[in-house]
A and B are shown apart, each in its own frame.
Chain A
Amino acid sequence: MENKLIKEIKNLRTEIKPRSEWVSTSRALLLQQITKDAAPVKVGFGSYFQLFGQIFRQSLLEPAVIMLLMMATFLGSSLTINAAFYSLPGEPLYHVKLALENTHAAMTTNEADQVALKIEFAQKRMEELNKIVSSSDLAPKEKTEKIKAAVAELKNNVSSVNSHLTKISQSIKQTSSDKIKNEQTVQMALTISSKTEELFKSLDKKIQELPATENSEVKDLVAGAAQSVQDVNLSAQQLVDGANQTPEVKEGTVKGADSENSAQTGTVEIQAGKATTSDDLIIIK
Chain B
Amino acid sequence: MNTPNLQEKLLLIKLKKKDPDAFAQVYDLYVTPIYRFIYFKVSSRQDAEDLTSEVFLKIWQYVTESEEQVENLRALLYRSARNIVIDHYRKNAKREYVRDEEILNNIEDDHQQSLLEKVDTEIEMKGIEKVLHKLKDEYREILILRYLEDLSISEIAKILDKSKGSVRVILHRALKVVRELANQNGK
Give me the interface of A with B, judged by CB distance under 8 Å.
1-2, 5-6, 8-13, 15-19, 22-23, 26-27, 29-31, 33-35, 37-43, 47-48, 50-51, 54-55
Contacts A16-B129, A18-B32; is A34 near B23 (CB within 8 Å)?
Answer: yes
Closest chain B CB from A33 CB (angstroms): 7
Cross-chain contact B57 with A1 (CB below 8 angstroms): no
Instruction: State the CA gap A237–B44 with chains docked (Å).
Output: 96
* Majority SS at the chain A contact face: helix
Chain B, 1-43, contact with A by CB distance < 8 Å: what is the 0/1 string?
Answer: 0000010011001101111100110011001100110011000
Cross-chain contact A43 with B13 (CB below 8 angstroms): yes
Question: Closest 3 interchain pairs by CB?
Answer: A8-B128, A18-B35, A9-B147
Q: Which of B92-100, B160-168, B174-182 contacts A (4 or more CB under 8 A)?
A: B174-182
CB<8 Å pairs between A and B, sample of 27: A2-B179, A5-B175, A5-B178, A5-B179, A8-B127, A8-B128, A9-B128, A12-B129, A17-B32, A17-B35, A18-B31, A18-B48, A26-B31, A26-B49, A30-B56, A31-B20, A37-B18, A38-B18, A40-B19, A41-B19, A42-B17, A43-B14, A43-B19, A50-B13, A51-B9, A51-B10, A55-B6
Give me the interface of B with A, judged by CB distance under 8 Å.
6, 9-10, 13-14, 16-20, 23-24, 27-28, 31-32, 35-36, 39-40, 45, 48-49, 52-53, 56-57, 60, 64, 127-129, 132, 143-144, 147-148, 175, 178-179, 182
Given the complex, which residues of A lie within 8 Å of B31, measured CB to CB? 18, 23, 26-27
Instruction: State the CA gap A5–B9 with chains docked (Å).
Output: 34
Given the complex, which residues of B lie within 8 Å of A11, measured CB to CB? 128
